[in-house]
């Protein structure tokens, strides 16, 4: 990112004025568009606000920009420098289209984390850098150069990876499949996106867990789906709830995260799994099974996914490397009936023409290298368990009698209910003020008074500090 040169003779404000003038001439800020506020630009370029005030003053004098109270600073419109310029009304275009923006809480949290990398991050459901298998990746990188093709890939994904996954799914999840029924996607996100876009229509009713990760995904609203709630108890959702829901609405699909559910961390009762499969079969509706966490099971005994029992092909099974290896590979997969895989692969060609072969090759090597992969998973489980325990002890120390939480047996998330009545937004801001961030429960569709703490991201040392800060913030709500 460009920063003003503090060693140069040219004053900072002038360097910045010239930089902003360049960007305006590049068309980055079309005529009439709003420039960053003085405060925002100052923090981006790490200078005093007064320097920006001076720089904007300079540009205003040249007639390039204009400020009006309440309207911020804009690039001048029609009478523009010497030649008159018109610009497309971009705002109009940006408001067209099917895709809703991300929900405010999420945007606020992302922006805060970007701005302040030192914040104690209980919000990102992602592994910390030290938990990625960097060594293993470096090793296969060095030992075995990539010598396969650099051209477009098979629409279903890199065949060697699909072959490796077929045996991986059998070994670790008891799921039978062949390479032809596997689709490689950009994380589980793209699998979910393809399903909502290609297999459902606006107005369709889908049943999702309450609370659920799905509520945090605008993609469901963007697709115009009607979301129906299946309450999550301590042992997950109840088959009877599905049946009564179906009687009242014509449910077309069910979205479940049976192992270490996000956000609650609960495990779907094994006895209920067959019941749900049979119910889905009787009603003839598919189940989408999102399974990102099974391998993180702290005691290594996660119940088998529903897909392992699905001989009728009613389950679309989704997995990914994001939570067990490296989210930056963007490797996810879906196991589905042939015809579904073909339909989604064809649609995906229209969206991005498929994934790069390189990360798929890395994933295939890594999953194929039995010992490297299993060593990694073993140490990952240990590390996550340690962090979970640190989080729990911090809770007991600083929040005794103020919150309830249940101890997850796998995954990255701990779900807490707060006894006193709090406003989600207030709670979040009080936390941010004190250097700690987390996700308010309402993001997952639950009533206020819940919080999701992801314990995978912060380093062990800062977990106590973070919860102490949270407790402080809670006091002020």
Which residues from 162-221 bind a copy of itself, rule CB under 8 A?
Answer: 163, 176-181, 185-187, 189-190, 193, 197-201, 204, 217-219
Residues 105-164 that bind a copy of itself (CB under 8 A): 107, 126-127, 129, 132, 134, 137-138, 141-142, 145-146, 149-153, 159, 163
Cα–Cα distance measured from residue 142 to residue 466, given in angstroms and rounded to the nearest whole number: 39
| Nearer CB in complex with a copy of itself: 326/439 | 326
Residues 257-316 that bind a copy of itself (CB under 8 A): 280-282, 284-286, 307, 310-315
Residues 219-248 that bind a copy of itself (CB under 8 A): 219, 222
Which range, of 62-70, 206-214, 351-359, 415-423, touches a copy of itself by CB under 8 A? Answer: 351-359
Nearest to 356 by CA among 215, 151, 218, 213: 151
Token duo for residue 393: 């002890």
| Nearer CB in complex with a copy of itself: 29/450 | 29
Cα–Cα distance measured from residue 443 to residue 456, given in angstroms and rounded to the nearest whole number: 19
Polymer length of the chain: 477
Binding-residue total with a copy of itself (CB under 8 A): 107
Cα–Cα distance measured from residue 394 to residue 463, given in angstroms and rounded to the nearest whole number: 7
Cα–Cα distance measured from residue 305 to residue 287, given in angstroms and rounded to the nearest whole number: 12
Q: Cβ of residue 83: shortest distance to a copy of itself, in angstroms?
A: 8
The reply to whether 98 sits near a copy of itself by the rule CB under 8 A is yes
Q: How is residue 81 annotated by DSSP?
A: S
Distance of CA 348 to the CA centre of its chain: 20
Helix (H, G, I), strand (E, B) or coil at 384: helix
Cα–Cα distance measured from residue 33 to residue 18, given in angstroms and rounded to the nearest whole number: 18
Residue with tokens 């960053």: 36
Token duo for residue 230: 């299946």
Token duo for residue 336: 């589905």
Q: Cβ of residue 127: shortest distance to a copy of itself, in angstroms?
A: 8
Cα–Cα distance measured from residue 472 to residue 399, given in angstroms and rounded to the nearest whole number: 10
Give the DSSP H/E element, type plus range, for residue 316: strand 315-320
Q: Count CB atoms within 10 A of the CB of residue 416.
A: 21
Token duo for residue 24: 């305006």
The reply to whether 437 sits near a copy of itself by the rule CB under 8 A is no
Residues 368-397 that bind a copy of itself (CB under 8 A): none
Q: Cβ of residue 95: shortest distance to a copy of itself, in angstroms?
A: 9
Residues 63-92 that bind a copy of itself (CB under 8 A): 85-91
| Nearer CB in complex with a copy of itself: 105/405 | 105
x/- contact string, 14-53, with a copy of itself (CB under 8 A)? --------xx-xxxxxxx-x--------------------
Indicate which single residue of 8, 116, 171, 338 sits in contact with a copy of itself (rule: CB under 8 A): 338
Considering Cα of 114, then 117, then 122, then 126, what sign does the dihedral take? positive
Distance of CA 383 to the CA centre of its chain: 21
| Nearer CB in complex with a copy of itself: 265/359 | 359
In angstroms, what CA-CA distances link 38 with 6, 27, 64, 363?
19, 20, 16, 45
| Nearer CB in complex with a copy of itself: 174/231 | 174
Which range, of 237-245, 330-338, 418-426, 434-442, touches a copy of itself by CB under 8 A? Answer: 330-338
Indicate which single residue of 356, 379, 393, 406 sits in contact with a copy of itself (rule: CB under 8 A): 356
| Nearer CB in complex with a copy of itself: 43/197 | 197
| Nearer CB in complex with a copy of itself: 8/201 | 201
Which range, of 240-248, 325-333, 392-400, 429-437, touches a copy of itself by CB under 8 A? Answer: 325-333
Which range, of 3-11, 329-337, 403-411, 445-453, touches a copy of itself by CB under 8 A? Answer: 329-337
Prior bond to 263 cis, omega within 30?
Answer: yes
| Nearer CB in complex with a copy of itself: 329/416 | 329
Prior bond to 226 cis, omega within 30?
Answer: no
Cα–Cα distance measured from residue 298 to residue 385, given in angstroms and rounded to the nearest whole number: 6
């Amino acid at each position: 990112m460009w920063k003003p040169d503090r060693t140069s003779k040219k004053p900072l404000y002038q360097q910045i004025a010239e930089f902003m003038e360049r960007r305006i001439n590049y068309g980055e800020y079309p005529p009439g568009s709003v420039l960053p506020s003085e405060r925002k630009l100052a923090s981006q370029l790490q200078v005093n606000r007064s320097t920006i005030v001076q720089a904007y003053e300079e540009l205003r004098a040249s007639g390039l920009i204009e400020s009006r109270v309440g309207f911020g600073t804009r690039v001048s419109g029609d009478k523009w420098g010497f030649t008159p310029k018109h610009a497309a009304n971009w705002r109009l275009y940006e408001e067209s289209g099917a895709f809703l923006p991300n929900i405010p809480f999420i945007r606020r949290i992302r922006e805060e984390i970007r701005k302040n990398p030192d914040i104690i991050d209980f919000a990102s459901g992602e592994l910390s850098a030290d938990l990625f298998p960097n060594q293993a990746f470096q090793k296969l990188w060095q030992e075995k150069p990539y010598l396969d093709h650099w051209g477009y890939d098979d629409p279903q994904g890199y065949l060697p990876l699909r072959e490796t996954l077929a045996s991986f799914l059998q070994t670790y999840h008891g799921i039978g499949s062949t390479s032809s029924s596997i689709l490689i996607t950009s994380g589980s996100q793209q699998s979910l996106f393809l399903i909502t876009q290609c297999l459902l229509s606006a107005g369709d009713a889908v049943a999702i867990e309450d609370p659920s990760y799905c509520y945090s995904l605008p993609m469901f609203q963007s697709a115009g789906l009607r979301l129906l709630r299946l309450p999550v108890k301590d042992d997950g959702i109840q088959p009877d709830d599905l049946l009564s829901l179906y009687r009242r609405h014509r449910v077309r699909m069910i979205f479940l995260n049976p192992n270490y559910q996000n956000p609650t961390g609960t495990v779907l009762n094994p006895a209920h799994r067959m019941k749900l499969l049979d119910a889905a079969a009787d009603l003839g509706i598919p189940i989408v099974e999102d399974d990102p966490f099974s391998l993180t099971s702290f005691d290594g005994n996660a119940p088998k996914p529903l897909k392992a029992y699905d001989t009728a092909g009613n389950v679309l099974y989704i997995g990914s490397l994001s939570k067990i290896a490296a989210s930056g590979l963007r490797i996810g997969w879906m196991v589905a009936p042939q015809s579904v895989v073909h339909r989604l692969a064809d649609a995906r060609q229209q969206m991005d023409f498929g994934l790069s072969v390189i990360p798929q090759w890395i994933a295939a090597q890594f999953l194929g290298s039995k010992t490297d992969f299993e060593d990694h998973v073993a140490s990952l489980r240990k590390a996550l368990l340690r962090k979970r325990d640190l989080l729990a002890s911090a809770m007991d120390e600083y929040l005794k009698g103020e919150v309830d939480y249940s101890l997850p047996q796998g995954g990255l998330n701990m779900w807490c209910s707060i006894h006193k009545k709090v406003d989600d937004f207030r709670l979040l801001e009080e936390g941010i003020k004190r250097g700690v961030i987390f996700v308010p429960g309402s993001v997952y569709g639950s009533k206020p008074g819940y919080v999701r703490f992801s314990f995978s991201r912060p380093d062990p040392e800062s977990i106590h500090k973070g919860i102490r800060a949270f407790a402080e913030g809670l006091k002020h709500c």
